Amino acid sequence: MNSGGLLESLRGTLIVSCQAYPGEPMRDPEVMSRVARAAVIGGAAAVRVQGLADIRATVDAVDVPVVGLWKDGADGVFITPTLEHARAVADAGAQIVAVDGTRRPRPDGLTLAQTIAGLRATRDVLVMADCGSLEDAVAAQEAGADLLGTTLAGYTDERPRTDGPDLDLIALIAAACAAPVIAEGRIHTPAAAAQARRAGAFAVCVGTAITHPSTITGWFVDAIAADG
């Protein structure tokens, strides 16, 4: 599929983020690739996968596009933070490379525009910019990003951490930018996913509420406890 076809294939669809965190029992490439397969059976049009080993295992296991990222560290710019990371994610087989799309300085000193241009010079991939604000999204579009994610809304200083998705931000980006918006972050129910789409999202990405059983279990435990 060419990149225009790939992008268009995601319109109005669900992307499922399949991630386990350091030290967790499901942190294993084979396990994550199976979680991704299960999501595809449920109708996911693409999956979002963290880490080179997980990306490689998942690319072999599913027949939908893989949005790959490499988290290095846990604060500041850590989602595919450098050009080197981005190239490695593409080489692991991801058709879409998700990178930090904020305006913060990157650890390799490159701008987002230089990172995207450097990646595209040698790899045929789309780039998803994980943004935290409207200003990030406008700058990321200008830098050449193909997809604008609201992934980091509420995780940088620019937006409050809303309980559910940041619907206002989704609408603001959709109104200001021609590049498609991927609503991502704290979408915990099918109703919230539909709201995100109505707010202007081109596609909706859900992680925790589908693929993180420990958190989901905690929601139920807390609800029961709160009821006495």
Ligand X SMILES: CC(=O)N[C@H](C=O)[C@@H](O)[C@H](O)[C@H](O)COP(=O)(O)O
Beta bridge partners of 128: 98, 147
CA distances from 175 to 151, 170, 199, 200 (A): 18, 9, 10, 8
Binds ligand X by CB under 6 A, chosen from 54, 100, 146, 184: 184
Which residue is closest to ligand X by CB? 207
Confirm or reject binding of residue 206 to ligand X (CB under 6 A): yes
Q: Look up tokens 């879409």; give the residue.
A: 96
Smallest gap from residue 105 Cβ to ligand X (A)? 18
Binds ligand X by CB under 6 A, chosen from 174, 187, 201, 204: 187
Taking contact as CB under 6 A, which single stretch among the options 133-141, 156-164, 185-193, 194-202 is the one that binds ligand X?
Answer: 185-193
First to last CA, the chain: 54
Binds ligand X by CB under 6 A, chosen from 13, 114, 162, 208: 208
Q: In whole angstroms, what is the distance from residue 223 CA to residue 167 CA? A: 25
Query: Smaller CB distance to ligand X: residue 77 or 172?
Result: 77
Question: Closest by alpha carbon to 42, among 209, 155, 177, 163?
Answer: 209
User: Which of the residues 9 through 28 are near ligand X (CB under 6 A)?
Assistant: 17, 19
Taking contact as CB under 6 A, which single stretch among the options 34-42, 190-198, 200-208, 218-226 is the one that binds ligand X?
Answer: 200-208
Smallest gap from residue 186 Cβ to ligand X (A)? 5
Q: In whole angstroms, what is the distance from residue 209 CA to residue 140 CA? A: 27
In single-letter form, the type of residue at position 220 comes to F
Contact code string over 130-169 relative to ligand X, x by CB under 6 A: ---------------------xx--x--------------
Binds ligand X by CB under 6 A, chosen from 15, 186, 199, 200: 186
Which two tokens mark 145?
Answer: 């990003």
Which two tokens mark 75?
Answer: 């604060």
| 3-state SS assignment for residue 109 | coil
Question: How many secondary structure helices (H) and strands (E) does the chain include?
Answer: 10, 8
Confirm or reject binding of residue 81 to ligand X (CB under 6 A): no
Residues binding ligand X: number (CB under 6 A) = 14
Query: Smaller CB distance to ligand X: residue 1 or 21?
Result: 21
Which residues contribute to the site for ligand X (CB under 6 A)? 17, 19, 69, 151-152, 155, 184-187, 206-209
